[in-house]
Structure 1
Amino acid sequence: MSDWREYGPPIRVEGGIRARSRRGQIAQTWWSQRFIEVLESFGMGGRLQRGKRYARAGQVLSMSVSKSLVVAQVQGSRETPYRVRIGMKAFSAAEWARIEEALAGQALFAAKLLAGEMPTDIEAEFERLGLRLFPDTMRELTMDCSCPDWEIPCKHLAAACYLLAESFDEDPFQILAWRGRGREELLDRLRSLRGTKAAAREDEVAPLAECMESFWTMPPLPGGSGGEPARPDAVLDQLDPLRVEGIDVVERLRPAYRALGAAED
């Protein structure tokens, strides 16, 4: 069998997928940088660098992200392009139900996702549920390439990893699709759950027709119980402490409230 190292430089191609970054780091957003950091933490840092030149030269012919699997074709030194696959375990339906419930329950998370952004605290939310957005160990990833290079990742896999990070820059939902939930399905679930929660809150409020007689009535001041009249200064008990130049403003107001109450009596 011929040694793979006897082959020369890669065959140049036209129309390949080129990394937008021409120098320095490729990943730009926090979530794509996090993905590269995770791969480097598995001891892949040096081997990843080998694929950066391929990614910038447009040697990746195609790449698709679907549930659990990224598939790419990379042109190397042989006439036939190499097939690259990067797999990661998808979350189960039950796990996604928990994730969606948690994300829908926080207005900021839901708003950012509906706007096409990845919330900065989303990793912590996944961890709170006992899950990981990004792989925690190398065992969670499977990588293979049809080239004869035995190292993982080879430069073809590494090129695909860099372009995958850039695809995360463009569309953070690619990360979630890889974990098993596509953009539209996730957003539809969040809208549905947010709508259900809003409807539940509305059900807790009495219809206007049922409270017309008391609509313009001032609610009782806090502090009274049973038939006892509320203290005139009871409303001050609801205020947070406020001190100005060492003076307790709330306590300074209390005699005035009591005086007003006495005058009304």
Structure 2
Amino acid sequence: MSRRRNDSPFFPPSTPRRVHGGVKARSVRGAIGTSWWSGRFIEVLETLGVGARLQRGRNYARRGQVMSLDIDAGTVLASVQGSRAKPYRVRIGLRAFGKAEWASVEEALAGNAWYVATLLAGEMPADIEDVFTGVGLSLFPRGADELSLDCSCPDWEVPCKHLAAVFYLLAEQFDDDPFRILAWRGREREDLLGRMHEADSAGGNETRAGAPLTDVLDTFYVSPAPLPQRRRSVGGALLLDQLPPVDVTVRSRPLTEVLRPVYAALRKSAERPSDPVDRP
């Protein structure tokens, strides 16, 4: 069986040419990418099992070897400087959603005031993946088979260190602006926010243009959706007893047990009758 080029003593590791003004990762050690959305993207790269190539890719990203990086619908194009004089061309492809698919996503987003408010604030809802899943789509690639990876370097292994470097820089760019993930899937930030603003305005106009208040007084204060049932404390149980399991310990003791005396003292203090106030 032939040895891989990077594992062969006949092909010692090459030193990349120095780049001035390249796209450089902020992270100087450890993991790259801090948000949940960038982490989801890095997971795809790490499932490829390319071992040392990931480390070399991180080094390239931190050295600033990526000279340019552009995100467009369905395509990421980058230029990476290696050991040769001519930079390598890197392309990472991901299927962009069509108009009908995006219409389904936007309809689902517009139907939830929290999603609309969060997106209009320039933030990514923590459970936005559920929205895409609910309409039969996936925001992030579910595996390497959904990506097309190409680099003009002579290394026949995929992904090479140049592709890995671009992956890591993409993760940091997703941290800076999570809307770039949506742009990669085919919806620019301004377009999506414009549609969310229209949905928000339409909802408000519908309320203002409704029936006169005097005609709907009997239902005006009725919740449009049933409220969740509140669990009652049985037998004087504390609030801690109503919490879901919390997998946190303090000095080998469950957090709820550590807090229990505190809650008991607070409850006792609240139930203690106050001192009478002398009146003149």
TM-score (ref. length: structure 2):
0.71
Q: Which has the higher helix share?
A: 1
For 1:179, give the aligned amino acid.
Answer: R
CA-CA distance at 1:219 after TM superposition:
6.0
CA-CA distance at 1:101 after TM superposition:
1.0
CA-CA distance at 1:50 after TM superposition:
2.2
CA-CA distance at 1:34 after TM superposition:
1.1
% identical equivalent positions: 56
**3-state SS in 1 of match to 2:49:** helix
Offset from partner CA, 1:164-216 (integer Å, 9 cap, x none): 0000010000000000000000100111112122222333332x6xx4xx89x
**3-state SS in 1 of match to 2:70:** strand
How many angstroms apart in 1 are the aligned matches of 2:130 and 2:234?
Answer: 39
Residue matched to 2:47: 41
CA-CA distance at 1:136 after TM superposition:
1.3
CA-CA distance at 1:242 after TM superposition:
8.0
How many angstroms apart in 2 are the aligned matches of 1:6 and 1:184?
Answer: 48
Tell me which of 127, 132, 135 is aligned to 2:141. 135
How many angstroms apart in 1 are the aligned matches of 2:163 and 2:122?
Answer: 28
Matched, 1:8 2:14: yes
For 2:71, give the aligned amino acid.
Answer: V
Alignment of 1:13-28 (within 5 A): 13-28=19-34
How many angstroms apart in 1 are the aligned matches of 2:232 and 2:40?
Answer: 44
Q: Could you say if the C-alpha distance between residues 205 and 14 of structure 1 is closer, same or farther in structure 2, counting changes exceeding 3 Å? A: same
Q: Does structure 2 conserve the Cα–Cα contact (< 8 Å) formed by 1:47 and 1:158?
A: yes
For 1:121, give the aligned amino acid.
Answer: D
Q: Could you say if the C-alpha distance between residues 44 and 200 of structure 1 is closer, same or farther in structure 2, counting changes exceeding 3 Å? A: farther
Residue matched to 2:92: 86
Tell me which of 162, 167, 180 is aligned to 2:168. 162
Root-mean-square deviation (CA, aligned residues, Å) is: 2.7
How many angstroms apart in 2 are the aligned matches of 1:90 and 1:18?
Answer: 27
Residue matched to 1:175: 181
Runs of 4+ in 1 over 6 A off after TM superposition: 240-246
Matched, 1:195 2:196: no
**3-state SS in 1 of match to 2:175:** helix
How many angstroms apart in 2 are the aligned matches of 1:204 and 1:45?
Answer: 62
Q: Could you say if the C-alpha distance between residues 242 and 17 of structure 1 is closer, same or farther in structure 2, counting changes exceeding 3 Å? A: closer
Offset from partner CA, 1:100-130 (integer Å, 9 cap, x none): 1111111111111111211111111211111
TM-score (ref. length: structure 1):
0.75
CA-CA distance at 1:46 after TM superposition:
4.7
Gapped regions of structure 2 (runs ≥ 5): 220-229, 237-280
**3-state SS in 2 of match to 1:15:** coil
Alignment of 1:109-120 (within 5 A): 109-120=115-126
How many angstroms apart in 2 are the aligned matches of 1:243 and 1:183?
Answer: 46
Q: Does structure 1 conserve the Cα–Cα contact (< 8 Å) formed by 2:54 and 2:164?
A: yes
Gapped regions of structure 1 (runs ≥ 5): 221-239, 247-265
For 2:105, give the aligned amino acid.
Answer: I
Q: Could you say if the C-alpha distance between residues 200 and 40 of structure 1 is closer, same or farther in structure 2, counting changes exceeding 3 Å? A: same
For 1:136, give the aligned amino acid.
Answer: R
Q: Does structure 1 conserve the Cα–Cα contact (< 8 Å) formed by 2:44 and 2:144?
A: no
Q: Does structure 2 conserve the Cα–Cα contact (< 8 Å) formed by 1:7 and 1:78?
A: no
**3-state SS in 2 of match to 1:64:** strand
Q: Does structure 2 conserve the Cα–Cα contact (< 8 Å) formed by 1:39 and 1:45?
A: no
How many angstroms apart in 2 are the aligned matches of 1:243 and 1:146?
Answer: 65
Residue matched to 2:151: 145
Structure number with larger C-alpha Rg: 1
For 1:33, give the aligned amino acid.
Answer: G
Residue matched to 1:261: none
Number of equivalent positions = 219
Tell me which of 131, 138, 158 is aligned to 1:125. 131
Offset from partner CA, 1:70-93 (integer Å, 9 cap, x none): 000000000000000001000110
Q: Could you say if the C-alpha distance between residues 86 and 219 of structure 1 is closer, same or farther in structure 2, counting changes exceeding 3 Å? A: closer
